[in-house]
A and B are shown apart, each in its own frame.
Chain A
């Protein structure tokens, strides 16, 4: 791996400097996928022919002076609930009609291709972007490259693995309650849940209609910024897409955060018993690093944060049950065991609960706006613990337990998962940077400034290092 750039930024420079071609880079990553994917379960479908054709075209274009920007010639993965024209979309499920999404690109994929991106294939997801890795459902079982006995989290597990193990330089994930940030935290790279409406989700199998978002996953905040610059923007085919201007996110990465105001919500996010001591310590050390860079750090109180997590889960389950109802009724056992019970939780609530969740959402949005009135970002842990063992995954506990991510889906805010250390057992730890609506630029700026002083995001799992040099 040391012979090849690990980040989009470095690869973009190497492509323009003539140190490497897109075809060489793509071929190398395809070989890595061949070598590592059987162990890791990152990709469900690989498209070498179209990927190499796109790479060769990118090389020709560059030689002719046609430069489509930082993603030009960069190999990328796409989560297998997003439509791509050259590979089937399965949602890692036996239930999804294979005709869905067949032969066309979701707008977000279209934009990546237009920007010169090279799509390597489809990455493994938890079935329908919910549930958990299921050894019995016949699809690849995603495993954490830092320890194969541990979970890669979900639902964008394959995208997370592919970044951490150096199988792709960037990837698309989706996030309804933490599905971009969870895998980023578990696998040790950067992942951005965007503001609701920031990226069109047309062409993406829905889970929670009012919560879903498509987000970039990559090693660094800079790389996520480069991806988002291309992904973001209005598309009328998504009725919830927001028609707001798209800034140049990489230009916002000034490297300085002097005077930037950071809130640390001490209740819930730092005082719940479920919070692992190493996670807490690493995040607080990260906060101190931000303070040392000149940020002004203030402790804040965020009332009813635990209720916000419940409201998010409720909306997710209710929306999901509406979408899946007839299939669950008629083909219960065709769904994975985790997926069907997570979605069927929607039947445990009543109609007024759903409306109350939406009323709470409106209230909590005002609460967060008030708390953040004099702040630029909040910082919290991304998850309570390092990646759990696959054998210990308990979806019941997870749905009822503490979550630091779904809170921000409820209020639609951008939230960046950033690696901030490793546990004593060698697993990645992560902090979450939360911004104001459509202010992805600030969360990326904070993440980028932090990453200029650390190398957590660049570390490669030992099993991936071995395979690269072979």
Chain B
């Protein structure tokens, strides 16, 4: 996993000439940082983490990368809390967003 994160350009369509003949995608939804959806954020407690990767496995975005310990991508995490609920070692806690 590279340290440098790449965000695709936001596509700015100024005229009909910039558009393909039919609606066909020109870029990735990665431009849409869903961080703003959160009201709580999951935080991994490294000492408790046993590297089982269950959090990574069950993330619907996915906003977790399977590093040691797993890295939560806070640009995309929607704060659903599945990782907190599913962690068998209580190694992820919920913190209020906007602290």
Do chains A and B interact in one complex? no
Residues of A whose CB lies within 8 Å of any CB of B are none
